[in-house]
Amino acid sequence: MHKSYIPKFAYKLAAAIAVVGLSTAALTGCASATDSSTPSASPLPELTLVTHDSFSMSKEQLAQFKTQTGITVNIVKAGDAGALTNKLVLTKDTPIGDAFFGIDNTFSGVALQNKIVSGRLTAIDYGDVCMNYDKAWFKAKGISAPTSIDQLVEPTYKNLTVVENPSTSSTGLAFLAATVAKYGNDGWQDYWTKLKANGVKVTAGWEDAYYTDFSGSTGKGKYPVVLSYASSPAYEIRKDGTSGTASILDGCFRQVEYAGVLAGAKNPVGAQLLIKFLLSDAFQRGIPESMYVYPIVKSTELPADWSKWATVATAPLGAGLDINANRESWLTAWSDIFG
């Protein structure tokens, strides 16, 4: 053979990669070096808030919090409520943040059981998971729009409903819980069996149900009834100033979203201040427009469209359920019906 097959430039390449690697280590090393101070009575100048993907805090609100407390907030998004909870459980020994937002009442049991929360859970907002329907569709067909989820298993409403899969969507899980609460431990499976026989369509997530299957959204699908939120009609205002959709206010599950200080947080004092801020009017007022749910503080002023079109459920369901203990058996039973 000729000389070595390894050309000189390969060493340079190796050196270049090593430099990239080391500088990465150095950069991130700096980041972790600041983390190692001990918690004290006065808050550290920085904190990390771990949230679900739908969380939103405007630049103005972040700036306001900084002016009030001197603390810069880093936001880390960790998936939906379920993924968020499980990631926090997985990392509870070296927490990935100081505070969290977005664990809801379907997952709060997991959080408490695994002791990831220091202190208590603080409710920040709530939303009602309700069926929505396309007003124009029912008007055009001359069928009266459903007023109860009971009707969705009737022949009049055959092949009209699309719901989210409870094993892959938190919205779907909320509705499953609502049916358990409404029809009882013995009746809910019967309801779903009838719903399936009546041609219900199942999607993986809210986005595909709402935007590809629901006829009342911009996606203009084929199904005039969709599992969504009581607030959604406020975002379907048509040219005439009225909403194109409405909610079936029966069979709604009330999702409550919590914030809290993470056990083992490096900046627990700052985290506490942030939770206080989340309850302040400055944040609560923005909740409807930024996260499409209702502020927990009742006196908060709602946007005009909301008071008109985003009616809350009259008798929301689910408050008495032990979701944490039953989730797995419900999902197994549900999958047996739809598997």
Region 109-128 residues binding other proteins, contact defined as CB under 8 A: 110
- Taking CB under 8 A as the criterion, the residue among 39, 150, 285, 289 binding other proteins is 289
Pick the stretch among 91-99, 138-146, 188-196, 252-260 that binds other proteins (CB under 8 A). Answer: 91-99
Nearest to 129 by CA among 101, 154, 159, 104: 104
CB of 129 to other proteins, least distance (A): 13
Q: Does residue 304 touch other proteins according to CB under 8 A?
A: no
Q: Report the amino acid identity of residue 243.
A: S
| Burial environment of residue 150 by CB neighbours within 10 A (0 to 12, 13 to 18, 19 or more) | middle
DSSP 202-217: EESSHHHIIIIIBTTS
Structure tokens at 198: 């009546």
Specify the stretch interacting with other proteins by CB under 8 A; choose among 26-34, 116-124, 135-143, 253-261.
26-34
Q: Interface with other proteins includes 277 (CB under 8 A)?
A: no
Residue 243 DSSP code: B
DSSP secondary structure of 128-155: EEEEEEEHHHHHHHTPPPPSSGGGGGSG
Minimum distance between the CB of residue 215 and other proteins, rounded to whole angstroms? 12
Two tokens, residue 210: 């709402």
Which residues lie closer than 8 Å to 155 by C-beta, 6 or more apart?
A: 198
Least distance in angstroms from the C-beta of 52 to other proteins: 10
Would you say 150 or 285 has its CB closer to other proteins? 285
Least distance (Å) from other proteins to the CB of residue 239? 7
User: Does residue 79 contact residue 73 with C-beta atoms inside 8 Å?
Assistant: no
Site for other proteins in 32-61 (CB under 8 A): 32, 35, 48, 53-54, 56-59
Tell me the number of residues near other proteins by CB under 8 A. Answer: 85
Least distance CB 119 / other proteins (angstroms): 22
Q: How many of the other CB atoms lie within 10 Å of CB of 239?
A: 6
- Decide if residue 89 touches other proteins (CB under 8 A): yes
Output 94 or 314, the one with its CB closest to other proteins: 94
Nearest approach in angstroms of CB 204 to other proteins is: 4
With tokens 């999958």, the residue in question is 335
Nearer to other proteins, 136 or 150 (CB): 136
Stretch that binds other proteins, among 1-9, 143-151, 252-260, 276-284 (CB under 8 A): 1-9
Q: 21 or 119, CB closer to other proteins?
A: 21
Pick out residues in 139-198 that bind other proteins (CB under 8 A).
Answer: 164-165, 167-169
Q: Answer yes or no whether residue 2 interacts with other proteins by CB under 8 A.
A: yes
Q: How far apart are CA 245 and CA 98, in angstroms?
A: 40
Of 199-228, binders to other proteins (CB under 8 A) are 201-208, 210-212, 217-219, 221, 228
Rg (CA), the chain: 24
Spatial distance between the Cα atoms of 107 and 92, rounded to a whole number of angstroms? 16
Q: How many Å apart are CA 152 and CA 248, to the nearest integer?
A: 11
Contacts of residue 24, Cβ cutoff 8 Å, sequence gap at least 6: none
Residue 241 contacts other proteins per CB under 8 A:
no
By CB under 8 A, residue 6 contacts other proteins: yes
Residues in 245-264 at the binding interface with other proteins, rule: CB under 8 A:
none
Q: Which helix (H) or strand (E) holds 120?
A: strand 117-134
Decide: is 328 part of the binding site for other proteins (CB under 8 A).
Answer: yes
Smallest gap, in angstroms, from Cβ of residue 272 to other proteins?
21
